[in-house]
Amino acid sequence: MTDYEYFAKVGPGRTEERPRSLWRRAEGQLEFLSLLDWSWHPVGGEVLAPRPDVLVPISPEQAERLLGDRQRFVEYWVEPATERRRALVYRRRRSPELVADEIFGRDDAWVRTHAVREFLSGQTLEIDLVEADQATVERIIEETRGISGATEL
């Protein structure tokens, strides 16, 4: 069995308990955890190794705890309901290989959107998103769509 060193990538507003991503290294080879397919991948191609100053060493036990809670790596927002439409919910799954911004769409599934990126960068004034936690988003989806478990990963 390979002995890995584990690292949490932190940055502004992030800690090792709520990192941006997880990394591991064995025998000089660095790998990242894809937060989209939840498996380990070697660094290479379009995914470059992060700067060393943003990687915080963590214990294998800490890594195991983080691996057991996928929601730590997801951000949620709500666009409040108006007189003309129900509330809309959005999520961001930021993975080293891709930032996936999604809205819970008309077909009762998560679909890609540019709205989160545009809102966060100030490119649009047409929507006003409010940060939310998983429980709030789950409740809104259940109340407006009658679907439970939509936020499960």
Question: Final residue of a domain: which of 48, 68, 88?
Answer: 68
When mean pLDDT is compared across 29-43, 45-59, 112-126, the lowest value belongs to: 112-126
| Confidence at 125, pLDDT banded by 50, 70, 90 | low
Question: Final residue of a domain: which of 68, 83, 117?
Answer: 68
Whether residues 21 and 77 share a domain: the answer is no
Question: Final residue of a domain: which of 68, 96, 115?
Answer: 68
Whether residues 87 and 56 share a domain: the answer is no
Q: Which range of residues forms the domain containing residue 49?
A: 5-68
Q: 124 pLDDT exceeds 80?
A: no
Sheet of 130-132: strand order equals: 110-112, 98-104, 88-95, 74-79, 130-132
Q: What is the pLDDT of residues 20-41, one digit of tens each?
A: 899 999 998 999 999 999 999 9
Q: Where does residue 118 fall: left (phi above 0), alpha (psi -120 to 50 degrees), or beta otherwise? A: alpha
45 within domain boundaries: yes
What is the pLDDT, as a whole number, of residue 53?
A: 85
139 within domain boundaries: yes
Whether residues 88 and 134 share a domain: the answer is yes
Count of domains observed in the chain: 2
Whether residues 114 and 56 share a domain: the answer is no
Whether residues 10 and 51 share a domain: the answer is yes
What is the pLDDT, as a whole number, of residue 16?
A: 83
β-bridge mates for residue 19, sequence order: none
151 within domain boundaries: no
Nearest to 99 by CA among 118, 123, 124: 118
Whether residues 76 and 106 share a domain: the answer is yes
